[in-house]
């Protein structure tokens, strides 16, 4: 193998695929990155056997070939090089030589034949989604997935492709986030899949600079999903099992509705969480309707027996009766931090019923938080 490419392109490509390489593995070659020539381009691939990322770079290929080298070593070395042309030569003894300006390194490679094949997803149902909308949807649900492996399906995101709509949902037993987005064109048939939350977080990172539509192919027969961009592909295994029927969890009515400015609510929640951290995470909310010229208000308090307490009062549009509810402060912060709308509505029925958070002005996102039972 003999080729050359630009350092900045190589560094960017290695950063794209490098996170898919296994950090520790019973199969040592999965800590490597595959470098191979492919129709006049350089192909980079990495996999941890659950997820594989492939990226293609423009390169001047003089001699075809393939090898694998340690992903971390390659990424760190290329990242330290000057912005110049990088020459790569693979010798007969499997040593990869890299030259860039006055820098030169040799890395011991492992035969590319031993690298696990990247799965090909060719069957199934394909959908296209606007990149910015997909990134927004992922950001609003991914944090609500469980990190505890005791119920593996809850560590994933439930994805339903139906008609012209993609619905993403995540739940960890304490909260539920549901986001609906439009597909570029209707899917041929309804399909459901549980995508690992780590996969979606990685896809969201990959599309940070992309501006074209992202193509998603779900193959339920092979239990695989493919995310495809212009020069990047990510293939992941799907999670097996049945996702809970979450529509039954979403309250259909409320007795009190509070509308607040998102930045003010977020600031007050952040302040309360400082004290709540040492007080079991409890943040208490009391909603009081206005009367006459007096506006309604929301009182947010948190208390720790050891360090003290905090209270904030916010003007709010409160409709319905006076109400109080307590939440885990972290859950409140998580959802408020991802909202980009100016206002948010909080709907409650009582201190022992779930609270519902919805952005004002859109009806495609809903967040349900279970209450904490506290002494008032």
| Assigned architecture for domain 2-114 | Roll (3.10)
Domain 252-369 has CATH 3.40.50.11610: no
| SS percent in the chain: helix, strand, coil, step 5 | 20, 45, 35
DSSP classification of residue 153: G
For residue 46, what is the enclosing H or E element? Answer: strand 41-47
Identify the band that residue 211 occupies on the pLDDT scale cut at 50, 70 and 90. confident
Average pLDDT over residues 293-299: 90
Q: Quote the percentage of the chain above a pLDDT of 70.
A: 100
Average pLDDT over residues 266-275: 96
Average pLDDT over residues 339-347: 96
* 76 three-class SS: helix
CATH number for domain 125-247, candidates 3.10.150.10, 1.10.1840.10, 1.10.3210.10, 3.40.50.2020: 3.10.150.10
* Cα gap 34→118, rounded to integer Å: 11
Contacts with 99 (C-beta within 8 Å, 6 or more apart), sequence order: 86, 87, 89
Q: What is the pLDDT of residue 364?
A: 96
Strand ranges of the sheet holding 51-58, from the earlier edge strand across to the other edge: 66-70, 32-38, 41-47, 51-58, 232-237, 224-228, 214-219, 125-129
Q: What is the pLDDT of residue 210?
A: 76
Whether pLDDT at 279 is above 80: no
Averaged pLDDT score across all residues of the chain: 94
Identify the band that residue 27 occupies on the pLDDT scale cut at 50, 70 and 90. confident
Q: What is the pLDDT of residue 93?
A: 82
Whether pLDDT at 80 is above 80: yes
């Amino acid at each position: 193998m003999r080729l050359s490419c630009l350092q900045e392109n190589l560094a960017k490509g290695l950063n794209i695929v490098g996170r898919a390489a296994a950090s520790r593995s019973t199969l040592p070659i999965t800590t490597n990155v595959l470098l191979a020539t492919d129709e006049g381009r350089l192909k980079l691939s990495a996999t941890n056997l659950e997820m594989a990322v492939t990226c293609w770079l423009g390169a001047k290929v003089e001699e075809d070939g393939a090898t694998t080298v340690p992903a971390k070593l390659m990424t760190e070395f290329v990242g330290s090089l000057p912005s110049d042309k990088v020459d790569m030569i693979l010798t007969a003894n499997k040593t990869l030589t890299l030259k860039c300006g006055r820098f030169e390194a040799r890395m011991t490679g492992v035969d590319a034949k031993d690298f696990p094949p990247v799965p090909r997803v060719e069957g199934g149902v394909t959908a296209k989604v606007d990149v910015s909308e997909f990134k927004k949807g992922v950001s609003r649900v991914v944090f609500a997935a469980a990190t505890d492996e005791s119920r593996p399906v809850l560590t994933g995101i439930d994805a339903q492709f139906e008609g012209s709509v993609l619905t993403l949902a995540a739940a960890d037993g304490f909260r539920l986030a549901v986001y609906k987005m439009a597909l570029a064109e209707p899917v041929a048939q309804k399909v459901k899949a549980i995508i690992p939350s780590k996969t979606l977080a990685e896809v969201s990172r990959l599309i940070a600079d992309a501006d074209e539509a992202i193509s998603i192919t779900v193959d339920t027969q092979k239990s695989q999903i493919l995310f495809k961009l212009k020069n990047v592909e990510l293939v992941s295994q799907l999670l097996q099992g049945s996702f809970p029927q979450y529509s039954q969890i979403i309250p259909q009515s409320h007795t009190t509705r509070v509308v607040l400015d998102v930045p003010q609510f977020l600031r007050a929640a952040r302040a309360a969480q400082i004290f709540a951290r040492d007080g079991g995470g409890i943040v208490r909310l009391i909603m009081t309707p206005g009367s006459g010229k007096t506006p309604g208000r929301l009182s947010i308090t948190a208390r720790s027996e050891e360090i003290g307490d905090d209270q904030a009062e916010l003007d709010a549009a409160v409709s319905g009766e006076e109400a109080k509810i307590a939440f885990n402060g972290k859950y409140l912060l998580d959802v408020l931090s991802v909202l980009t709308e100016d206002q948010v509505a909080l709907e409650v029925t009582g201190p022992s019923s779930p609270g519902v958070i919805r952005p004002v002005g859109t009806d495609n996102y809903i967040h349900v938080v279970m209450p904490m039972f506290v002494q008032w």
